Structures are given as structure tokens and as C-alpha cells.
Structure 1
């Protein structure tokens, strides 16, 4: 009898450990991740739960291994500087401090040459570096909140490589969109068609691309405006893009590079249509 207990008890311990720690807890954590009200995310969770119960009877849970791998990557990436969402956020903050700690003419001239997207022939690297520079604290905070709102979950689904490709392609596309728009309006003889923006800084083009890809992948995930009003991602991001298009069309002189936002959003849409759709 004692011998039989010695055999059964380890099996009970294994079952409790397997079910509680490796199945239920990761699924619970997954549901509680940011922006998880997305029906696509919940559907994936449910389908995994069903698939895993079948696989457990057949082959000791290969679906569980696949899921746990993704989950463990996300949890470890959250605590690592290798996570591109947090690495980009940290770089933006450091560049902002560097830009604004010294207001002397010499330093500001160097900052302008190194980070301001204006003359691509003289300063070609600014097509990339302008994505890390922000004109004021509000600009930085808004972009940071936008990136942190959707970046971690999009990263979880598409992985580090695809996320970095999307982010920098959208940022470069946004920069080129700004330059093309600016040069077009500069050459227009009608003064009313000219813009007040000749120089661009900021991650807005890149982040708009991330937002558009996210909204197309998870159109029913919800954002809470002012913490109260739930709005589907597709409606919120679509409204944001419509606002940018309206201001660009009506020759807004607000100092915002709306064309850069629209170009970055276009890159994000193309990434979803030709790289992400059907794969994730």
C-alpha cells in the first residue's frame, strides 16, 4: 500500500504543477495584458485552451509549449532592455534630456544638425535620428503614452524583428512624406498653400504606423478615453487619421507635420496587408 502511495503522490504533484502553473496561470496573465479586450486575442486564448486539451491527451501538450514560449518571451522581454518598446522609450527620453539640458547657441546648433529633419542632402542620418528627438515635454509624453499603449501587445504577436522593421520603416516613411509635402508646398506660388513647418522632429510617424497596424490587427480592442468611454481601436485610430487628413487638406498652420503622420500610417497599413495579415 505504501509503495502504491509513493507512485500516486508524485503523479498528483505533477498534475497540479502542470495544470496550475503551466496552463491556467499563463492564460490568466495573457488575458490581463494591456489592451487585451480584443476579441481576436480572446479568441486565440480560447482556441489555444481547446487545442491544448486535445494535444495533452495525444502528445503531452505541444500546444502548451508553443504558447508558454511566447508567454515567457513577453514576460522576460518586459524586464529586459532588449525589448524594443522600452529601448525606444528610453532612447527618446535620453535624447530629450541631451537636447534640452543646454540652451546655448552652440549646443542647439549641433542638436539641429544632428536631429532635425530639414536638409536630407547635408544631413542624411536625420532621416533616422529625427525619430528620437522631441520639441517639448508634451510632445514626448504623448508619443510615449501612445507607444506604450499598443507596443507591448503588438510586439507579443509579431516578434522583435517585425516590430523593429515596422517601427523604423514607418518612421522613415513619415520623414519622407513630410519632406515631399514640404517641398511641394514650397514650390507653390499660392502663399495660402505654404506650410508653417519646415523642420520635423519626433517619433509620430513611426508610432502612427504602429497604431495603424495594431488597429488593423485588433480592430475591436478597446481604448478608454479619459478612463471612461470605451472606443474600438479601429474607430479611434481611424478618427485620428481622418483628423490628420482634414488638417493636411485644409492647409493647417498649427506647426504639426500631418503629412508625416499620414505617410507613417500608410506604411503601417501596408505592413499589415502584406506582412502581418494571415501570419499572426
Structure 2
């Protein structure tokens, strides 16, 4: 389920939503470091800056999901999406996957806006990644037949480790991680009440 054996072309064909999101992560990262944008102008226009959100720049609740502070940050989040995104995209379909991914990411950014000070600046897709973990947890609770015992253990273990690292590593947006996870669980619980939502697309 979480082991990737597809070729590059097969991966893009089987998982278009994950492929496009990862592509946007990479593309935006390189755009933000190119010298044609003086003073990292694009980064400053898209980053989640709470003060500017309060002044009405609401797109900053969305754009930080695709923006990263450095190459390791972008690589780690994109790799996490490649590992854990395809199975969900296959189970619920590409359209619902996109809704899930961005809904949980936006929920994480909204929570960050209300909890963190106006001077707080944030970027990264970690809130959305934790949203995927939350959705998987909801599946283990309400749709157990869709996950093997081994995959359930993998998800619970990775989620637990990720939560621990959230509080151990420096410069982590703890609020985004926690509320992304909660949003994923809630959305997963709502989806689970619909009998056709988990039909493989």
C-alpha cells in the first residue's frame, strides 16, 4: 500500500493529483529562489503572514500549503506526500483527494491564524500531510476493512512518531500539525458515513 513500485510515467498516470501537487511544490520552490524575483518577492506574496491575512489577504490561507522555506523542507514534505498520498487518491479518487488535502491544509492555516500572533509567518504542507494521517486514522476506526493490520500499524506508528517530532524539533508550527490531524480525522469520519465515498476510482 505504501510501497511504490510504479515507473515515473505510471505514477503520474495512476496518481495525477499527488503528481500535480508535488510538481507545484517543486516549481514554486525554484521560482522562490530564482534571482529574477528580487528580495524573494514571490515568497513574500504567498507566505502565510498572519498580519496580512488579518488585513484581507485571504489567499495566504491556501498558498503556504505549496510553499516551503528551503530545499530539505520541500523535499521532506513532497516525499511524505509521495509515500502516503497515492493510496488515498486511489481509494477516494483524485477530486476528493484534492479536497481533502487542501481542506486540511487550510484548516491548519486558519488555526495558525487564530492561535499565533499577527507577526507569525508560516509556510509548508505539513498541516495537509497530517490531514492525510488523520484521514487514515479515521479509516482505522470506521473502515477497518480497507486497511490491513500491517498498514494500520504503519499509519499509527508514523503518526505517533510525527507527533512526537512535532514537539521535539525546532521551528515547527505545532498548531498546524495538530489541527491538520484533527481536520483529517473529522473529514474522514464524515466521509465514512457515506457508503460510496471509498469506492476505488
Task: Give the structure-1-normalised TM-score.
Answer: 0.58
Structure 1 counterpart SS, 2:13: coil
Q: State how 1:104-123 maps to structure 2 within 5 Å.
A: 106-118=38-50, 119-120=52-53, 121-123=55-57
The 1:172/1:219 distance shift into structure 2, 3 A limit, reads: farther
Q: Within 2, Cα distance between the matches of 1:220 and 1:232?
A: 9
The 1:253/1:160 distance shift into structure 2, 3 A limit, reads: closer
> What are the Cα deviations for residues 116-163 of structure 1, in whole angstroms up to 9, with x where unaligned?
333212421111111111001111111011111111111111111211
Structure 1 stretches (4+) deviating beyond 4 angstroms? none
The 1:140/1:109 distance shift into structure 2, 3 A limit, reads: same
Question: Residue in 2 aligned with 1:220?
Answer: 149
In the TM superposition, residue 216 of structure 1 has moved relative to its aligned partner by 3.7
Q: Within 2, Cα distance between the matches of 1:111 and 1:162?
A: 28
2:184 pairs with 1:268: yes
The one of the two structures with greater contact order (alpha-carbon pairs below 8 A, sep at least 6) is 2
Moved more, 211-220 or 138-147: 211-220
Question: Residue in 2 aligned with 1:95?
Answer: 28
Question: Residue in 1 aligned with 2:174?
Answer: 258
In the TM superposition, residue 110 of structure 1 has moved relative to its aligned partner by 4.2
Q: Within 2, Cα distance between the matches of 1:92 and 1:253?
A: 22
Larger radius of gyration: 1
In the TM superposition, residue 90 of structure 1 has moved relative to its aligned partner by 0.2
In the TM superposition, residue 222 of structure 1 has moved relative to its aligned partner by 4.2
Unaligned runs of 5+ in 2: 140-146
Q: State how 1:199-214 maps to structure 2 within 5 Å.
A: 199-214=121-136
Q: Within 2, Cα distance between the matches of 1:35 and 1:277?
A: 28
> What are the Cα deviations for residues 49-74 of structure 1, in whole angstroms up to 9, with x where unaligned?
xxxxxxxxxxxxxxxxxxxxxxxxxx
Q: For the aligned residues, what is the CA RMSD?
A: 2.9
> What are the Cα deviations for residues 168-195 of structure 1, in whole angstroms up to 9, with x where unaligned?
1001001011112213xx7xxxxxxxxx
In the TM superposition, residue 221 of structure 1 has moved relative to its aligned partner by 3.8
Q: Within 2, Cα distance between the matches of 1:242 and 1:253?
A: 9
The 1:202/1:81 distance shift into structure 2, 3 A limit, reads: farther
The 1:148/1:110 distance shift into structure 2, 3 A limit, reads: closer
- Is this contact kept in 1: 2:133–2:159, CA < 8 A? yes
Task: Give the structure-2-normalised TM-score.
Answer: 0.78
Q: How many residues align?
A: 183
- Is this contact kept in 1: 2:31–2:42, CA < 8 A? no
The 1:221/1:83 distance shift into structure 2, 3 A limit, reads: farther
